[in-house]
Chain A
């Protein structure tokens, strides 16, 4: 279970969240919508432990992540899959290496089998040894998705994952994330495409006036 309890986050007098509350259950799929600058990315950064709120608690699986120390935060982040709005990669390395990073951090075995399977899932099996530099924007986005889901995380946080994808691919990616939630993974996706969220008939939360509704 994930819950925000009276979260406040203020950037130089700009209230992003003020006593914001929300909770979702394990295995839920949630769209988070809001205007540009409303705080969708801040929400993701708070939930991934990259930032701390000014006030309030964030409970993930019965633990308050705002009270985590550095080591606990690292362990926590290894259990979640993050897809950032501006995904960054090790540009001079291959697709395979970039995707394998979460597995290398965990010291997993059977890395190559998992990479092949995941690339097959995101339709990039032919680009396994290509350099990241050589990929188109849509392909890079799919590599980011593959990297986020390769280690079967408990939670997936996707910040505008369909940003550089066409309509068809956007739907395919969303369906894949919905599918993952059916296997028990909690998925939170921020998007400004309300139409796509409505079309997929999933729970929709929105950030409005520093509150999550």
Chain B
């Protein structure tokens, strides 16, 4: 009896695999034979997937290049500032504001620093005097909300000649990052919206054109999962094609985008690393898309099958 059960079980597994293979095969050739029928479904979803990849990747590049960014303020001091005054400025800055680092450079040290930074374009070598004043470089967290009061403090300080901060540049970058995040969220929601509409539409067409077959299979004792299997592979395969097309679009875009961006960054002498989406990220996102396709399809197919069978 136990042996009979085992044989029946094995036969069930073989049938399950066989039926899945048949359904996959017929769905694949159905798409191949009717490409125009699915093009209106695949292209918008591929574009959405492409947008998701691009906005995610841009976010990733910004995150990677600016994750440890801190506001850097260069303060040029007046000529008559004494070491005692510098100590006063330091103690005031450290006590009043959230300063991460404070560095003082004398005129000579400032010149050294300038030469080190502007190795290729050192305009001071043509001068017979040191144009640089005493300098202080301070670093502070971007998120601290005392930027305005610091700016007021420096403007009204009698030892400060001029100061310059990179906060506006950083704020623009982070504003751009926020726009990309919104684009990413919009792309995801738009993707899901189109997905639900198209899966609903195509499932409705497929199921209503196979109404008789579904009813017969149900009467003959087919389980819901068996009936559903015939329709589930079509959206899953479409999802896979969407991911592939979206990924190819993205690769082309990334290739041309990095060439262009590298040119711009090199001309501004900005060093940055332009990361692309890794194979693991690509595979995981495709898997996620396919799982979403499958879940939405299962719900839609179930609801239409139940409607067809009037359950």
Give residues in A with beta carbon < 8 Å to B. 48, 50, 70-71, 74-79, 82, 84, 88-91, 98, 101-102, 105, 107, 147
Chain A residues with Cβ under 8 A from B12's Cβ?
107
Asked if B303 CB lies within 8 Å of chain A CBs, one says no
CB distance from A106 to the nearest CB of B (A): 8
Rounded to whole angstroms, the CA-CA distance of A102 and B220 in the bound complex is 6
Interface string of B1-35 (1 = CB under 8 A from A): 00000000001101100110000000000000000
* Inter-subunit contact A82/B224 (CB<8 Å): no
Give residues in B with beta carbon < 8 Å to A. 11-12, 14-15, 18-19, 212-213, 215-217, 219-224, 226
* Inter-subunit contact A74/B212 (CB<8 Å): no
Residue from the list B15, B217, B219 in contact with A48, Cβ < 8 A: B219
Residue from the list B18, B212, B222, B224 in contact with A90, Cβ < 8 A: B212
Rounded to whole angstroms, the CA-CA distance of A213 and B18 in the bound complex is 48
CB distance from B205 to the nearest CB of A (A): 16
* Inter-subunit contact A71/B212 (CB<8 Å): no
Q: List 27 A-B contacts (CB under 8 A).
A: A48-B219, A70-B224, A71-B223, A74-B222, A74-B223, A76-B221, A78-B221, A82-B219, A82-B220, A84-B219, A88-B215, A89-B212, A89-B216, A91-B212, A101-B216, A101-B217, A101-B220, A102-B220, A102-B221, A105-B220, A105-B221, A105-B222, A105-B226, A107-B12, A107-B14, A107-B15, A147-B220
Rounded to whole angstroms, the CA-CA distance of A73 and B16 in the bound complex is 19
CB distance from B310 to the nearest CB of A (A): 10
Chain B residues with Cβ under 8 A from A82's Cβ?
219-220
* Inter-subunit contact A77/B221 (CB<8 Å): yes
CB distance from A70 to the nearest CB of B (A): 7
> Number of contacts between A and B (CB, 8 Å)?
47
CB distance from B14 to the nearest CB of A (A): 7
Interface residues of chain A: helix, strand, loop or mixed (majority): helix
* Inter-subunit contact A90/B219 (CB<8 Å): no
Chain A residue nearest to B222 in the complex (CB): A105
Rounded to whole angstroms, the CA-CA distance of A82 and B222 in the bound complex is 13
Rounded to whole angstroms, the CA-CA distance of A78 and B219 in the bound complex is 8
Rounded to whole angstroms, the CA-CA distance of A147 and B221 in the bound complex is 13
CB distance from A197 to the nearest CB of B (A): 25
Chain B residues with Cβ under 8 A from A98's Cβ?
216
Rounded to whole angstroms, the CA-CA distance of A209 and B220 in the bound complex is 31
CB distance from A91 to the nearest CB of B (A): 7
Residue from the list A70, A71, A77, A107 in contact with B220, Cβ < 8 A: A77
* Inter-subunit contact A70/B221 (CB<8 Å): no
* Inter-subunit contact B212/A88 (CB<8 Å): yes
Q: Which of B14, B217, B220, B222 has the most CB of A within 10 A?
A: B220
Rounded to whole angstroms, the CA-CA distance of A88 and B213 in the bound complex is 8
Chain A residues with Cβ under 8 A from B18's Cβ?
107
Chain A residues with Cβ under 8 A from B221's Cβ?
74-79, 102, 105
CB distance from A199 to the nearest CB of B (A): 30
Chain B residues with Cβ under 8 A from A84's Cβ?
219
Rounded to whole angstroms, the CA-CA distance of A76 and B213 in the bound complex is 19
CB distance from B23 to the nearest CB of A (A): 12
Chain B residues with Cβ under 8 A from A48's Cβ?
219
Rounded to whole angstroms, the CA-CA distance of A89 and B224 in the bound complex is 19
Chain A residues with Cβ under 8 A from B220's Cβ?
77-78, 82, 101-102, 105, 147
Return the 5 tightest CB-CB contacts between A and B, nearest first.
Answer: A107-B15, A78-B221, A77-B221, A74-B223, A74-B221
CB distance from A54 to the nearest CB of B (A): 17
Q: Which of A50, A70, A74, A102 has the most CB of B within 10 A?
A: A74
* Inter-subunit contact B11/A90 (CB<8 Å): no
Q: Which of B15, B19, B216 has the most CB of A within 10 A?
A: B216
Q: With A70-B224, A77-B221, A82-B219 given, can you name 16 additional A-B contacts, CB distance below 8 Å? A: A48-B219, A71-B223, A74-B221, A74-B223, A76-B221, A77-B220, A78-B220, A79-B221, A84-B219, A88-B212, A101-B216, A101-B220, A105-B217, A105-B226, A107-B14, A147-B220
Rounded to whole angstroms, the CA-CA distance of A56 and B86 in the bound complex is 98
Chain B residues with Cβ under 8 A from A102's Cβ?
220-221
Chain A residue nearest to B210 in the complex (CB): A90
Chain A residues with Cβ under 8 A from B15's Cβ?
107
Rounded to whole angstroms, the CA-CA distance of A78 and B221 in the bound complex is 5
Rounded to whole angstroms, the CA-CA distance of A78 and B172 in the bound complex is 68
CB distance from B16 to the nearest CB of A (A): 9
